[in-house]
Amino acid sequence: MKLYENEIPKSSCPYCKEVMDRAGGIDEVPPEPGMLTICVFCASLSQFDDDMQLVPLPRELWETIKAEDPEFASQVELGQKAIRMTDRRNYPSRTNE
């Protein structure tokens, strides 16, 4: 499996406030409004708005996704778990950029 990285407009995670300017994925499709993303710092789920800024993912939408596409939801939750297991003590904070 190859991972891809795409530049995005700088945006802060709505949960931990870390600044991100890249989004990764397992395909070459660049992120677009409405797509989900997982914060690499806190593992929270967000969504890109029309301006490609990160906004909280509505809980109702996540519940719908889990019901309609449990395989995708399972992959997302596995990604979140992997991020949470990563030792972040030496990661530089980007909240002040």
What's the domain count of the chain? 1
46 within a domain of the structure (yes/no):
yes
- Within a domain: 24: yes
| Structural domain range at position 58 | 4-85
- Integer CA distances (angstroms), 50 to 22, 30, 45, 66, in order: 17, 14, 17, 23
pLDDT for res 93: 63
Query: Would you say residue 43 has pLDDT above 80?
Result: yes
**Would you list the DSSP string of 35-88?**
-EEE-TTT--EEEE-TTS-EEEPPHHHHHHHHHH-HHHHHHHHHHHHHHHHS--
pLDDT tens, residue by residue, 69-88: 999 999 999 999 998 988 76
Looking at residue 4, what is its pLDDT? 80
Written as six digits, the tokens of 33 are 């409004």
% of residues, the chain, pLDDT over 90? 63
18 occurs within a structural domain: yes
pLDDT at 97 > cutoff 60: no
Q: Domain for residue 71, yes or no?
A: yes
Question: Does residue 57 form part of some domain?
Answer: yes
Within 8 A by CB and 6+ apart from 64, the residues are none
